[in-house]
Amino acid sequence: MKFIFKWLFRLFLLVVVLAVVLVLSLDTILRVVAEHRIRAQTGMDAEIGQFHLGLLEPVVTIKDFKLHNPPAFGGTPFLSIPEIHVEYDRNALTKNQIHLTLLRFNLGELDVVKNAEGQTNLFAFGVTVPAKGAPGGGSQQLKEFKRRTGLDFQGIDALNVSVGTVRFIDLKDQRNNREQNIGIDNLVLKNVKTPADLAGLAALVALRGREVFGVLVDQNNSNAGIQKLLGF
């Protein structure tokens, strides 16, 4: 009896230790899993400095997130995001709904890269331009989001956006390289429910980054889609 008790007690302690280690390592495990998932789905290498999932509160925080272009674009940097902070509604999640009470998004750097074949990374990665006069104010994108995730997007109560530097990198002719500071710091948008609610933000970014984005327009005059996307 004592022998069984000792082993049961030891097994119990082992389970407790493993549980503690798992909790303490959960953020690290999720960080590694997220990096591998991004790589598998996009073909781009991802680095996440810190990943935190709140166990007692509905919070997800990602810090020092970096995404690198695939070999077709020289493996150059694509995105550098110092912080993504999300606070969400747990009750909505139980109903297969996404309702964010706060999204803080800090885009430190965006690198638009044109490779030697004339392809631009933004459009190679599937950035598309809605048809002019398309109904629904972005409803098609929301339908696609639901199809992919099984979740209904209910909106963002408060979106806090910061945008730093935008660069254009021409791998074939470096004389075309450009860099511009967008300088948007803690711009708050309320009640964001569709992509159409981001139109003002997109226009502001296009205006402040005109020198960089203008290079794309100048080199792609035949591509009306690019001009519509950038607001030129």
Q: Taking 50 as the threshold, does the pLDDT of residue 227 lie above it? A: no
Q: Are strands 77-88 and 152-170 parallel, antiparallel or unpaired?
A: unpaired
Per mean pLDDT, which range of 126-135, 143-152, 212-221 is the poorest? 126-135
CA–CA dist 147, 19 (Å, integer): 35
Per mean pLDDT, which range of 22-31, 46-55, 75-84, 223-232 is the poorest? 223-232
84-113 pLDDT, tens digit each: 999 999 999 889 898 999 999 999 999 989
Task: Give the start-to-end residue ranges of the domains of the chain.
Answer: 1-42, 47-230
Mean pLDDT estimate for the chain = 79
Q: Are strands 59-68 and 46-53 parallel, antiparallel or unpaired?
A: antiparallel
Q: Under a CB-based contact definition with an 8 Å cutoff, are residues 78 and 113 in contact? A: yes
1-25 average pLDDT score? 52
Tokens 């109903």 belong to residue: 95
Per mean pLDDT, which range of 107-116, 202-211, 218-227 is the poorest? 218-227
Q: Taking 50 as the threshold, does the pLDDT of residue 22 lie above it? A: no
46-90 pLDDT, tens digit each: 999 999 988 888 999 999 999 999 888 888 889 999 999 999 999
150-162 pLDDT, tens digit each: 888 899 999 999 9
**pLDDT tier for residue 190 given thresholds of 50, 70 and 90:** very high
The whole-number pLDDT of residue 49 equals: 93
Q: Which two tokens stand for residue 98?
A: 């996404």
Q: Under a CB-based contact definition with an 8 Å cutoff, are residues 88 and 158 in contact? A: no
Q: Does the predicted model carry a pTM greater than 0.75?
A: yes
For the chain, how many helices (H) and strands (E)?
A: 7, 6
CA–CA dist 74, 78 (Å, integer): 11
CA–CA dist 206, 211 (Å, integer): 9
Question: What letter represents residue 136's amino acid?
Answer: G
Q: Taking 50 as the threshold, does the pLDDT of residue 131 lie above it? A: no
**pLDDT tier for residue 118 given thresholds of 50, 70 and 90:** confident
CA–CA dist 134, 174 (Å, integer): 38
- Taking the alpha carbons at both ends of the chain, their separation in whole angstroms is 82
CA–CA dist 131, 224 (Å, integer): 11
Q: Taking 70 as the threshold, does the pLDDT of residue 1 lie above it? A: no
CA neighbor of 156 nearest in space, from 114, 121, 201: 201
CA–CA dist 114, 232 (Å, integer): 19
From the CB of residue 182, how many other CB atoms can be counted at a distance below 10 Å? 20
